[in-house]
Amino acid sequence: MRKKIVAGNWKMNKTLDEALALTSEIAGMVKDEVRSDTTIVLCTPFPYLVPVLRVLGDGSRIAVGAQNCSQHEWGAYTGETSALMLASLKAQYVIIGHSERRQYFGEDGKLLAAKVDIALRSGLTPIFCCGEPLEVREKGGHQDLVGEQVEASLYHLDEAQIKKVVIAYEPVWAIGTGKTATSAQAQEMHAFIRSQLAAKYGQATASDITILYGGSVNASNARELFSSPDVDGGLVGGASLKSREFVEIIKACSTPASP
């Protein structure tokens, strides 16, 4: 179902004490200041999932997600974490195919398709990332590449399944660089992704899919980025590590602005 979502990707940052302090600060500010129905997700490192969930407590309006999962269900895969394990902890989301996983861990479209499947089968919502490197955009190949990434990892899903996936368009050149896509660039790509989904699944299904923008979103640029009709919120890296900044981004996702 299409919703507004702001998800923080903490990556491999923070000690446990720092992570718990950040969680408490965000939860307190959200409770006091955020009136909107924007879904808020904290994608923490694996070891912090349970402690963060404990700090949030039962019935929190903040959900928790992981940053990766295994493509396998169970078994002899030393060092891996399964989607079922994540679901059993009460994580609700999992980032799949972040560009850092594609780049540093060689994850390709076929592997990511398997991860999306296992996440869905385990009851998790995959946040599937796609996006082009700078050299591809400079040559004008960005839509082709993103179209291929989405096709390779998602097009085997049926209509009911694809509606459960959140897509995050994250141009690689904008991740952690301070260089953000303009709202026109984000809207153009989001509309393109939605049109591809419409061609495959029909307009009604495509209109029901949440597409987030990620890449140096901060408190100053979030409102403009999120104002585009096909941008349903953000996947936020660096700025999600600062409680005030992250909460301002959540507020920017609300329409009209929350008090």
Give catalytic residues, as residue numbers.
98, 170
Map residues 238-257 to x or -, x wherever contact with ligand PEP holds by CB under 6 A.
xx------------------
CA gap 129, 112 in Å, rounded:
10
Q: How far is the CB of 215 from ligand PEP (least distance, A)?
A: 5
Chain centre distance of CA 82:
18
Map residues 106-135 to x or -, x wherever contact with ligand PEP holds by CB under 6 A.
------------------------------
Under the binding rule (CB under 6 A), the answer on residue 235 touching ligand PEP is yes
Under the binding rule (CB under 6 A), the answer on residue 105 touching ligand PEP is no
CA gap 199, 212 in Å, rounded:
20
Stretch that binds ligand PEP, among 28-36, 84-92, 107-115, 232-240 (CB under 6 A): 232-240
Q: How far is the CB of 213 from ligand PEP (least distance, A)?
A: 9
Q: Please report, as residue ranges, which positions from 157 to 216 form the binding site for ligand PEP (by CB under 6 A).
A: 170, 175-176, 214-216
Under the binding rule (CB under 6 A), the answer on residue 236 touching ligand PEP is yes
Exposure class string for 159-171: b at 16+ Cβ within 10 A, else e: eeebbbbbbbbbb
Q: How far is the CB of 208 from ligand PEP (least distance, A)?
A: 23
Number of residues forming the site for ligand PEP (CB under 6 A): 15
Map residues 17-46 to x or -, x wherever contact with ligand PEP holds by CB under 6 A.
------------------------------
Using CB under 6 A as the criterion, which residues of the chain lie in contact with ligand PEP when the complex forms?
A: 9, 11, 98, 170, 175-176, 214-217, 235-239
